[in-house]
Chains A and B, each alone.
Chain A
Amino acid sequence: MHINAFDRFHFHDSFIHRLDPRIKVVVTVAFILSNAILPDGSWLAFATAWLGLLVVNDLSNLGLGYSFKRSYIILPFILVAITAIFSPLGNPLAEWDLGFVTLIPTDFGLVRFFSVLTRSWLSVQMAILLVATTQFPDLIHAFEHLRLPRVLTTIIAFLYRYLFVLTNEALRLLRAREARSAGLPGQKRGGKLIWRTKVTGSMAGQLFLRSYERSDRIYNAMLARGYTGHLRTLNPHKMTRADWLVLILSLFVILFIQFVGWVR
């Protein structure tokens, strides 16, 4: 089961891990922004960006292929982007008649499709690196420093705390159902469809109720152990000279990528 999927943080010690989380957030966002404004088909710039990613992978002691191996997340969305190949702009390359619709792939569309894919694939890798090198509470802390509304960061902090508890709860419900989803040989099993949906719905209700009542109990358990509205961590969060240096350097690299992308 995928409970362990929750903490994507990887216990390695590296220069990147020790950077101030704010720097990492800013650089990540800048990198993704930069990908978004690179023109279609600027392959050289994309390649440069990827090189940058490889360097970060290596500096974080995660291994060169770390973020690459996890970037399959975008795969399902490729289906959506495939339709870009049939863009009305550009010169037609072929004509496929499927009976109910005629598809015309164009050169513009093809470039567009691969550009979208590459941008997405690069951006996702950067986000993966951010999470792999920063503990989530530190990340939330960084967002607080970056002036996100307090209500929101607190909600997110609680969401994170309870994520383990409640997803576990959901998994337990699923597992309980699974364990008794029995059948007899030669007999129709599973009950009526309407009953099955009702069971799933009740499980959602059950989950809600458990969450709600447990929220009371755990919140009180937190209060009982001195919680006053601030989650504390053992990390000081001070910007050092190295942090500033990395920030400036990274922004220059990103500017360089833009340079490569726009010079034709």
Chain B
Amino acid sequence: MLLAPAPLHIPDGFLNLVVSLIFWAATVIMVGLATSKTNQTLGEKQVPLMGIMAAFIFAAQMLNFPVAGGTSGHFLGGALAAIVLGPWAGILVMTAVVAVQALLFQDGGLLVMGANIFNMGIITAVIGFGLYRTVIGRNKNIRLIVAGMSAWLATMAAALLTSLQLWLSSTSRLALVVPAMLGVHALIGIGEALITVAALAFIQETRPDLLDKEATASSGGRGWIVAGILVSLLAVLISPLASGNPDGLERVADDLGFLETGSSKPFEILPDYTFPVLGDTAISTIIAGVVGTFILVGLLILIGRNLRKNRKQ
């Protein structure tokens, strides 16, 4: 099936509330920044272009290529979008893609959309563009090689982050999910890298004007290089740790009470899901649940509102 869900689109229910909300918050902040940045640098006319680029990524994800053993990988496009359009626009484009995939195809959930956008749009943009930014202006082959490497690494980082989120939600065992995800994505990443390189080479040949202009005009500053390298290093360091010594990590998290939080205690503020005043009764539990829900909804609204204010300034 052409539109089979990619192994990175987490559905609702697989991440617990805390993890979902943390990544929603991070995503809202980044996307908010991206909107204000692109509003500054790009004219009104560029918005349709971004929409079309989003549709392009969507369509390009259909160009599957055979990976070993009958499975076929498919293109993520986050790195390519960031390289061609600049990081901020790339983030917006990927946000739109992930949102539409969730809304229209239920390919990825709504509550976990923050995490999905973060994995597939933000991390890939930071790594993809950050590393590519170091070689802008160098000779063509070096640029292509670095683009390919960053596309591969971005895929791996997205897979790693997905595994970690699943683990923190105690949906998966670290010892099993990390090697599995990284293993599959090491292959998929190669396809991603090859396609990214070939597509860039094609654009370079046919419309070099698009690449140069776009890259210099709307790209971020040197901060992206630092962020890109840092995040890449982090990914490179954590992967062997997580796959090589998962039990250690797991024990640490267990000691910190992380796993239990993840599995069934969304509200640390309300100890044991009861409302202290009312004692340990069923009613108390229910009220705790209701209050918790309101607090969360309130938090979400607050975050959203602040961001909107920031943008207006």
Contacts and interface: CB of A to CB of B under 8 A. Distances in A.
Direct contact of A and B (CB under 8 A): yes
A91 interface: no
A158 B96 CA distance: 10
Residue from the set A83, A119, A136, A204 with the largest chain B CB neighbour count within 10 Å: A204
Interface stretch (B128-136, B217-225, B237-245, B259-267): B259-267
Nearest to B32: A149
Interface in A163-218: 163, 165-167, 169-171, 173-174, 196-198, 200-209, 211-212, 214-215
Interface stretch (A10-18, A50-58, A71-79, A240-248): A71-79
B63 A264 contact: no
A154 B7 CA distance: 28
Given A39-B264, A205-B206, A155 B47 contact: yes
B62 interface: yes
A32 interface: yes
**Range for the number of chain A residues in contact with chain B:** 35 or more
A45 B63 CA distance: 42
A258 interface: yes
Contact of B65 (A119, A130, A200): A200
A102 to B, nearest CB: 10
A101 B247 CA distance: 12
A154 B166 CA distance: 32
Interface residues of B, number: 97
Given A89-B263, A151-B38, A204-B195, A73 B5 contact: yes
Contacts of B286: 258-259, 262-263
B59 interface: yes
27 contacts: A33-B296, A74-B11, A77-B10, A80-B166, A83-B176, A89-B170, A89-B259, A118-B13, A123-B12, A124-B109, A136-B103, A152-B35, A155-B51, A156-B100, A171-B62, A196-B65, A200-B63, A201-B194, A201-B197, A204-B63, A204-B80, A205-B202, A207-B63, A211-B53, A215-B49, A258-B286, A263-B286
Given A73-B107, A255-B290, 4 more contacts: A34-B293, A88-B259, A131-B103, A166-B58
Interface of A: 1-2, 5-6, 8, 28-29, 32-37, 39-40, 70, 73-74, 76-77, 80-81, 83-84, 86-89, 101, 108, 112, 116-124, 127-128, 130-131, 136, 139, 147, 149, 151-152, 154-163, 165-167, 169-171, 173-174, 196-198, 200-209, 211-212, 214-215, 219, 229, 255, 258-259, 261-264
The 8 closest A-B pairs by CB, nearest first: A201-B198, A158-B51, A205-B202, A120-B13, A119-B13, A123-B12, A162-B55, A215-B52
Interface of B: 1-5, 7, 10-14, 16-17, 20, 31-32, 35, 38-39, 44, 47-56, 58-60, 62-63, 65, 75, 80, 84, 92-93, 95-97, 99-100, 102-107, 109-111, 166, 170-173, 175-177, 191, 194-195, 197-203, 206-207, 210, 250, 254, 259-260, 263-264, 266, 273, 282, 285-286, 288-290, 292-293, 296-297, 304, 308, 311
